[in-house]
Structure 1
Amino acid sequence: MWMRSVCKFVLMLSCCLAAVGTSQAADFPAKPVKFVVPFTPGTGPDRLARLVAEDLGKTWKVPVVVENRLGASGHVGAQVVGQSPPDGYTVGVMATNISLTAHLIKSEGFVPMRDLAPLTIAGYGDMTLVVSGKSRFNTLRDLLDYARQHPRELAFASAGMGSPAHIFLAQMQQKTGTEFLHVPYKGTAPAVTDLIGGQVHASFVATHTVAPYLASGQLRALGVAAPQRNSHAPDIPSFAEQGVPDFSTEAWYGFMLPAGVPEPIAEQLYRDIRASVEQEHVRSQLDKFGLTVRPSTREEMRQVVDKEYRTYGDIISKYNIKLQE
């Protein structure tokens, strides 16, 4: 009799909780929603956030505010999201580098892989390996063959220690048996300036940004670091077709929540955000920014982030990579 009463109580409690969750989802959102972007205005994640925020504001009939929270290569903004109330009213607009900073930066009370919940990847961008327009290297093979024969002679620029370009360089070296001299800068702009001037020999730059440099002859593209060519630069051969398969600099842009958001609300956010990203007017604008729209499910995003976290952890450990201060 006692056991039967306990079972009835548990069943009733479960039903009540389910009803509460359903009610929460039906009422959501009842107030403004905040998109936290850990990057500067005008970057890929910021543009993604503003396009989707404008679209969802019309759908939800409540304001969707974009807030840029900068610092520590995106870690500060990620921490703001991870430590926000898990009620669905704070959404992080993240990028691949969350899998990097999770290893490179430790904060008391915040563990990204524990405190953030994947929602959906909106799309991807990739990078192209470039050299100066006056460089002696005309093909990817030319560069890699020379680098193998002359370890650490060629200077490879990045936007800083622990930056995505730095990690991708380490991956490329591991994949191709080469060793470059890494030269970290404080940002992409000074790295590109010195590359054009010949102070360094090569670097990775976002594929959709290379066209003006190529047209002016300031830079020469040796290959898109991806399995296939990029629609924004169809004349640039991929690494794969030049004999370097299974190497990609594809970086995702997507949405994450604080861990613990009620399932009905998390699922509604996933459905609404994905529907927004897939709309033609949003997709076309993102394409102009170099973002190839390829939305994921929540589980697919979790698998991508988990795999990246393990992969980057191994590379960071092997090459003793530290975040630039």
Structure 2
Amino acid sequence: MHKLQKLLLIGACVATFASHATTTYPTRPVTVVVPYSPGGTTDIMARIASQALMESTGQSFVVENKGGASGTIAMGFVANAQPDGYTLLSNEMTQTIVPSLFPSLTFDPIKDLDGVSIYAEAPYVLTVSSKLPVNTLQELVDYAKANPGKVNFASGGVGSGPHMAGELLKSVAGIDMTHVPYKGSGPALNDLLSGQVDVLITAAPTAAPYVDSGRLKVLAVAHDKRVSTLPKVPTAAEAGFPEFRVANWFGFAVPKGTPSAVSQTLFADLKQALDKQSFRDKLIAAGAEPVTMTPEQTKQFIENEAQRWGALIKKANIVNN
């Protein structure tokens, strides 16, 4: 009996220590891995959120950029990191696209990463060249049906968000458009502005600066809510195409096996930041809309999005070359 009591006492001490370790997390700097080079939207969002987490916790959240291979280098790095909450992935919609584009990865971008929270999203907008004789989403659909195969849409490359958005529009509207992939969103936008391509579906901040000058037209927001930066632009749902819904989203993920208490702590700190108008204003200024998702909601959302994009990739027979 004495031996049993001793074991129980040791067990209680270990449990108390583990609980204390979790409640005091983080006790040292946390690395936030961004899947792209500095300066892009995902990088900007990661730095805004990391600063907020630093203010909430008193610990440093250090952004580290690991670009390349459609974000899979960073995803794999975090998936294989120690599951202790000190290596985070700044994740976004690409995480839900690459599993179907890269089926031979040495890790599973969905199963080997646990979502912590999604704190912002940037709905895509449907933009067209000022030379295209359409002014609404319905007019574009009618024009494309009257001119099958003649309308083209640009993207930053095969499997990119704008590519997926274009394929989604083709699917839900029953139209035929020709995909023109570029090596990045910049060249795609330049050719849209010059009229070399007809359509580009991209994040609202990319298009907003060119609307007032008339260099391009924004026909719809690919969402069920209007965006703050383009309040007069109707949503796809308002235009009669509710299934045309594309938004890049921004959150954090940790390696599979990270204690749930750590994820809950990180979520609580993010929630505390989202309750502050100053943090929300920074997100809006960067072109995103603040949202709040718990770890459980984030997990379900990511799984649903992976299934949605996977089905579209299969239907459109998209192959990564």
Please state which band the TM-score falls in when normalised by the shorter chain.
Answer: over 0.9
* Counterparts in 2 of 1:140 and 1:80: CA distance versus 1, 3 Å: same
Separation in 2, partners of 1:302, 1:111? 14
1:26 is displaced (CA, Å) by 3.2
* Counterparts in 2 of 1:158 and 1:109: CA distance versus 1, 3 Å: closer
CA contact (8 A) 1:21 1:264 kept: no
1:319 is displaced (CA, Å) by 1.1
- Residue type matched to 2:225 in 1? Q
- Residue type matched to 2:181 in 1? P
Which stretches in structure 1 are left out of the alignment for 5+ residues? none
* Residues 1:113 and 2:110 aligned together: yes
Which stretches in structure 2 are left out of the alignment for 5+ residues? none
Separation in 2, partners of 1:58, 1:308? 31
1:108 is displaced (CA, Å) by 5.0
**Correspondences of 1:73-112 after superposition (within 5 Å):** 73-106=70-103, 109-112=106-109
Residue 31 of structure 1 is aligned with which of 28, 32, 41?
28
TM normalised by structure 1 equals: 0.91
**Correspondences of 1:1-325 after superposition (within 5 Å):** 18-106=15-103, 109-323=106-320
* Counterparts in 2 of 1:320 and 1:89: CA distance versus 1, 3 Å: same
Residues 52-61 or 248-257, more deviating: 52-61
Separation in 2, partners of 1:12, 1:114? 37
* Counterparts in 2 of 1:12 and 1:251: CA distance versus 1, 3 Å: farther
1:238 is displaced (CA, Å) by 1.5
Q: 1:55-102, CA deviations, whole angstroms, 9 ceiling, x for partnerless residues?
A: 332333332211011011211111111111001101111101100012
1:214 is displaced (CA, Å) by 1.1
TM normalised by structure 2 equals: 0.92
Residues 51-60 or 189-198, more deviating: 51-60
Separation in 2, partners of 1:305, 1:9? 45
- Residue type matched to 2:229 in 1? H
The DSSP-based 3-state class of the residue aligned with 2:217 is strand
1:12 is displaced (CA, Å) by 7.7
Q: 1:34-71, CA deviations, whole angstroms, 9 ceiling, x for partnerless residues?
A: 11111222223212221222233233333221101101
